[in-house]
């Protein structure tokens, strides 16, 4: 996997953010290093989650660390295998869409299957609350979906000006 020397956030509307990502098949120290690099960069960027496409890598990999009481996660080829029927609306933002926020309805609890970066071994775990929300947000990135795609029409309308500003900045 070609890892960039220095990670940088890819901003909307860069096309990499809308691509479906590829499965990771090669595991080992390089992948662990990339995960650790992404976690460090995410924290430095004041984020709690980061998907590989957000740093220009079109692979199925995300990192998450929502804070104290939670372990930092490096998730390879992750998939939500179960979602609770109970949902909650909460205002989300994204490092790739600076200064854009909006309320997104998501399940409160989920089960996730992923692979360990060092050996590809599969494991499953449950997440709830902010951690579950963050994982769902980051996994959306792996399918080219952004949180703005989940906004209700009136909320989507409210962020249009900010999206146009980001489009002009990238043009």
Q: At residue 4, does pLDDT exceed 90? A: no
Burial state string for 44-53 with b = 16 or more CB within 10 A and e = fewer than 16: eeebbbbbbb
Rounded-to-integer distance, Cα 45 and Cα 50, Å? 10
pTM for this structure? 0.95
Name the residues annotated as catalytic. 138
Q: What's the angle, vertex CA 167, arms to CA 162 and CA 169, rounded to 5?
A: 95
pLDDT in tens, 153-171: 999 999 999 999 999 988 7
* Whole-number Cα distances in Å, 57 to 60, 80, 97, 124, 144: 9, 21, 17, 24, 12
Q: At residue 85, does pLDDT exceed 70? A: yes
pLDDT in tens, 90-120: 999 999 999 999 999 999 999 999 999 999 9
pLDDT in tens, 126-135: 999 999 999 9
């Amino acid at each position: 996997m070609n890892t960039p020397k220095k990670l940088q956030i890819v901003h909307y509307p860069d096309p990499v953010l809308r691509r479906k990502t590829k499965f990771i098949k090669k595991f080992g120290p390089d992948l662990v290093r990339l995960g650790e690099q992404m976690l460090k960069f995410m924290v430095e960027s004041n984020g709690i989650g980061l998907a590989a496409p957000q740093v220009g890598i079109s692979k199925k990999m995300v990192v998450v660390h929502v804070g104290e009481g939670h372990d930092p996660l490096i998730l390879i080829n992750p998939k939500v295998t179960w979602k609770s029927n109970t949902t909650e609306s909460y205002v989300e933002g994204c490092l790739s869409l600076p200064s854009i926020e909006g309320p997104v309805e998501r399940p409160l609890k989920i089960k996730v299957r992923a692979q360990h970066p060092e050996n590809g071994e599969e494991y499953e775990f449950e997440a709830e609350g902010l951690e579950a929300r963050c994982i769902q947000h980051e996994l959306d990135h792996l399918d080219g979906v952004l949180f703005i795609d989940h906004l209700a029409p009136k909320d989507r309308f409210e962020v249009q000006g900010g999206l146009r500003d980001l489009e002009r900045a990238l043009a």
